[in-house]
Amino acid sequence: MKSFHSIEKGIAIIYDDLYLVNGARTPFGKFCGTLAQVSPTDLGIFSSRAAIEKSGVNPKEIDQAIIANIGQSSGDAYFLPRHIALFAGLHESVPSLMVQRICASGFETIIAASEQIMLGKADTVLCCGTESMSLSPTVSFGNRMGYPLGRPVFKDMLWEALDDTAAGYPMGYTAENVAKKHNITRQQCDEFALLSFQRSVASRNSNIYKDEIASVNSVVFEAEGLKPRKVRIPGGVKNFVSDEQVRETTLEALAKLPTVFSDVGVLTAGNCSGIVDGSAAVVVANKNSIQSKGLKPVAKVVASASCGIDPKVMGLGPVPAIRLLLEITGLKMEDIGLFEINEAFSAQVIGCEIELGLDRAKLNVNGGAIAIGHPLAATGTRLSLTISREMIARKVKYGIASACIGGGQGTAVLFENVNL
């Protein structure tokens, strides 16, 4: 293990013999769509049960559960990590932990799990990120203390999640700042979005995600000694398995959409990440656990890095994170065969491409969040699983998954293909 920290550069670590065994995710449901009435806890149970099954691990042999969730959007939100662990089948004596690094929280579950394993506090860990953006509440802070007559104040917590008060404006404006910095045009943003949709449609049609997505159905989750959890999918939908926002589109259709953050800006509803509901989970384990249980991992978790950046250009966060990751590992850009960078906004991903000198042919090859959607806490686990599986399919040795983070941060994780 080799760790690094610098006020100027950030934090990073190289792990010893740590593996992403396997994982699974729910399909991502569009905003107020098929999954809109499913709590983030239940979404997490769906993905965690599937991830454990695909990994071939006995849930009673998992030592910890590390869970991410950003927006508290159900009545049992305080208990979310514990409830997910218990209904996923983990032993009642196993502790659960919630982590939060906003858009990189899914990555953080894997990073925290890896560090717990390095410290000798676990051999095998369940990692899960889960988010219901449709159920994000409208709240009245201070309502308990009352309010002046006729002046109740309510906040839309989903909107508040997208509004960085430190930067002074919603995060979409930070991507407009990136566009101005690099002279990125509206057409370039729409072309990038079109490619995301085209790649996602092609992946769906060729069943690329078939082994990654676990179907969601109306069900009753049961665990010994606990009150059952009843989950109902409205409309009689059965075997919901397809990302709901993925669709055919054209450059002409994208060009007709109005800008959403600035009258003279480049960003529209069509070239920014989709607001969706969903969950993704993976199992992380050390070499001893892999060997003793006879497991076949999909990738090695090599290293991770996180850093801070000016909130006003927060979308460029992957740039210093990836650079630090390469610096600590001694690898070069040309050594990395695949990249997954979360498509929060088309302009910010293009900005990362420019600053890193990325080859788009290696980036988000099966589409990204513009088409698939960005369920905040689930994205990092989804990207980690997606890139690990694609590295096997393409016989690529190294891949990096990364995301920008609201408030001005970046996280990146390096994976190695152990199936070459």
Task: Please indicate, yes or no, if residue 177 is contained in any of the structural domains.
Answer: no
Question: Among 103, 128, 272, 352, which one carries the catalytic annotation?
Answer: 103
pLDDT of residue 1: 82
pLDDT above 90: residue 143: no
235 has pLDDT over 90: no
Give yes or no: 103 in active site.
Answer: yes
CA angle centred on 364, ends 359 and 365, rounded to 5°: 85
Q: How far is CA 112 from CA 101, 277, 307, in A?
A: 11, 24, 16
Share of the chain above pLDDT 90, in %: 92
Confirm whether 36 is domain-assigned: yes
Q: Is residue 172 part of a domain?
A: no
pLDDT tens profile 197-214: 999 999 999 999 989 999
Identify which has the larger pLDDT, 145 or 297: 297
What pLDDT score does 151 carry? 87
Is 189 among the catalytic positions? no
Residue 343 lies in a domain: no
* Four-CA torsion 359, 362, 368, 374, nearest 10 degrees: -90
Q: What is the pLDDT of residues 168-201, one digit of tens each?
A: 888 899 999 999 999 999 999 999 999 999 999 9
Which residue among the candidates 128, 272, 307, 404 is catalytic per the annotation? 404
Tens of pLDDT, residues 60-77: 999 999 999 999 999 999
* pLDDT tens digits along 76-133: 999 999 999 999 999 999 999 999 999 999 999 999 999 999 999 999 999 999 999 9
| pLDDT at residue 226 tops 90 | yes
What is the token pair recorded at 157? 């917590």
Tokens of 349: 């991903």
pLDDT of residue 394: 97
Report strand pairing: 10-14 vs 64-68. Answer: unpaired
Residue 236 has pLDDT above 90, yes or no: no
| Per-chain mean pLDDT for the chain | 96
CATH code of 79's domain: 3.40.47.10
Query: Does residue 175 form part of some domain?
Result: no
In a domain, 77, yes or no: yes
Residue 131, beta-bridge partner list: 278
Asked if residue 39 is part of any domain, the answer here is: yes
Taking residues 396-411, what's their average pLDDT? Answer: 97
User: What is the pLDDT at residue 162?
Assistant: 86
| Domain total of the chain | 1
Its domain, for residue 279, covers 18-134+209-243+274-293
